[in-house]
Structure 1
Amino acid sequence: YTKIDSSFERNRIMFGAPGTGKSFNLNEDAKKLLGNNYETNLERVTFHPDYSFANFVGTYKPVPIKDNGKDSITYAYVPGPFMRVYVKALKNSRTNLIQPFLLLIEEINRANVAAVFGDIFQLLDRGFDNVSEYPIHASEDIKNYLANELGGKPSDYSRLKIPDNMFIWASMNSADQGVFPMDTAFKRRWSFTYLGIDDGDKEIRGKYVYLGGKEKQKIEWNSLRKAINEFLANENINEDKQLGPYFISKNILIVDTDEIDSDTFCEVFKHKVLMYLFEDVARQKRSKLFANSKFGYTRYSKICKAFDEQGIEIFHNDIQADVIRIESISSELDNNLVHMDN
């Protein structure tokens, strides 16, 4: 118990639809938490379906060494990201300059968390002092490793707790295919922060792009995104499968002018947005979503070809109407301002 003070939760999961900025927001909070020690006190790991307890905590692995000048192999305990951050936090807890340490897990539900955390799961239950309330018994491998790293005898480390200066944060997108469900016992040990579908869209408001091959359409990405989301919502498709503001990356959307580069945007829109809608979220709604595609809706390549020529006119009339209505309101406001000036 280091008595370190922080307004941030120790165990925290940020979740929301794809493109809402989960990783970005966690990273910004990490900078606030760690300050000048951001580079040294942060470790980031991405979970995947084959990720295991051995990867996360540590295990014995073959390690190359020099034996009398010759290359040889021995076995040693190799720590995973959890153990590396854990040791750093414990070492720091013995000093007079207490610092926070952060383990940041991307895509936490893309692995089987019950298997990855193993008995470490018990340590996530923290008391009022933000130290693990219930200790676990360490394996002989871990006891020996901690003794080598922290000093003392292996028996000194038979019972483990997470110190209050160690933070564990994660991002989660429940819309991803092939994700592993989390049980209630695991989830209740975390503080969940939800990013809404329109949270953080301030930076992309008013960013326009020209679409369509024959008749250029000037549309706002944010209004098109919202129109598609409204259509999906009306088709009873959950919010966690809809389009966040940054489903298309920031470096394309946030430019010095109000106009987004058309060629770059269109390529990304076809290969990210249209692919996502066609293959995943609107698989059962293709005929309705792409109702006006002049080349049909049964093949992704044909939808892309239609988009090159028609722009947003490939979509259902309701989507087109929503985008046009937003633009007409903008035009009407501009006309009123001109009239007032005169």
Structure 2
Amino acid sequence: MNTSDNSIYFMDSAFKRRWDWEFVNWDESKPNTATYGKGGILDENEWKKLIKNLNNFIKSHHASIRGIEDKQIGYYFIKQPVTAEQIQNKLMFFLWDSVFNRDKKPLVDLLKVRKDNLVTFGDFTKLHNTLITNIMNLAD
């Protein structure tokens, strides 16, 4: 299935949260190796901090997010162990396609990139190290 397979109805974000996703870029390029966690795996405390900071980041951009209550990330969004692949394929896809689907500016600002460098989801996945580092470094 691809994101265009939604007939006249978009796939519900709650439905998306319940499935694992695997993104394959058109050019088969892969994101860089994870520089966060231990070998690209977040422990429970790192995951909890990431969720807390990410939800605060999402809430801080509520004006451009429709249905914000449905866009918060829960502890079980990804079950332990939380790997770089799950972050790229599930968490980042949810952020791209559901949370910031209407306005990518918050992501552009967070990642400190030019808007032209964040056009496709493939562009976004390649920035997973920057995303996680910047979210983890947000003030509590």
TM-score using structure 1 length: 0.25
- Paired residue secondary structure (1:283): coil
Query: What's 2:14 paired with?
Result: 176
Query: Are residues 1:312 and 2:132 paired?
Result: yes
Question: Cα gap change, 1:321/1:286 in structure 2, threshold over 3 Å: closer, same or farther?
Answer: same
CA distance in 2, matches of 1:285, 1:270: 19
1:287 to 101, 105, 110: 105
Query: What's 2:20 paired with?
Result: none
Whether contact under 8 Å (1:233, 1:239) holds in the other structure is no
Q: How does 1:290-305 map to 2 (within 5 A)?
A: 290-291=108-109, 292=111, 294=113, 296-305=117-126
Deviation per residue, 1:229-267 (Å, 9 max, x gap)? 1111122242222111011124x24xxxxxxxxxxx111
CA distance in 1, matches of 2:60, 2:112: 20
CA distance in 2, matches of 1:311, 1:213: 13
Deviation per residue, 1:113-171 (Å, 9 max, x gap)? xxxxxxxxxxxxxxxxxxxxxxxxxxxxxxxxxxxxxxxxxxxxxxxxxxxxxxxxxxx
1:232 to 58, 67, 71: 58
Question: Which runs of 5 or more structure 1 residues have no equivalent in the other structure?
Answer: 1-173, 178-211, 254-264, 327-342
- Paired residue secondary structure (2:76): coil
Instruction: Note the C-alpha offset of 1:221.
Output: 1.3
Query: What's 1:266 paired with?
Result: 84
CA distance in 2, matches of 1:278, 1:271: 11
CA distance in 2, matches of 1:175, 1:306: 23
Q: How does 1:95-106 map to 2 (within 5 A)?
A: none
Q: How does 1:1-342 map to 2 (within 5 A)?
A: 175-176=13-14, 213=33, 216-218=35-37, 220-236=46-62, 237=65, 238-250=68-80, 252-253=81-82, 265-291=83-109, 292=111, 294=113, 296-307=117-128, 309-310=129-130, 312-313=132-133, 315=134, 319-322=135-138, 325=139
> How many residues align structurally?
99
Q: Which has the higher contact order (CA 8 A, sep 6+)?
A: 2
Question: Cα gap change, 1:311/1:289 in structure 2, threshold over 3 Å: closer, same or farther?
Answer: closer
Instruction: Note the C-alpha offset of 1:321.
Output: 3.5
Question: Cα gap change, 1:230/1:311 in structure 2, threshold over 3 Å: closer, same or farther?
Answer: closer
Structure possessing the higher radius of gyration over alpha carbons? 1
CA distance in 1, matches of 2:95, 2:118: 11
CA distance in 2, matches of 1:221, 1:290: 23
Q: Which AA in structure 1 matches 2:130?
A: Q
Q: Which AA in structure 1 matches 2:56?
A: E
Structure (1/2) with the larger strand percentage: 1
Instruction: Note the C-alpha offset of 1:284.
Output: 2.2
Question: Cα gap change, 1:297/1:175 in structure 2, threshold over 3 Å: closer, same or farther?
Answer: same
Question: Which runs of 5 or more structure 2 residues have no equivalent in the other structure?
Answer: 1-11, 16-31
The share of aligned pairs that are identical, in percent, is: 23
Question: Cα gap change, 1:241/1:282 in structure 2, threshold over 3 Å: closer, same or farther?
Answer: same
CA distance in 2, matches of 1:246, 1:231: 19
Q: Which runs of 4+ in 1 moved over 6 A?
A: none
Structure (1/2) with the larger helix percentage: 2
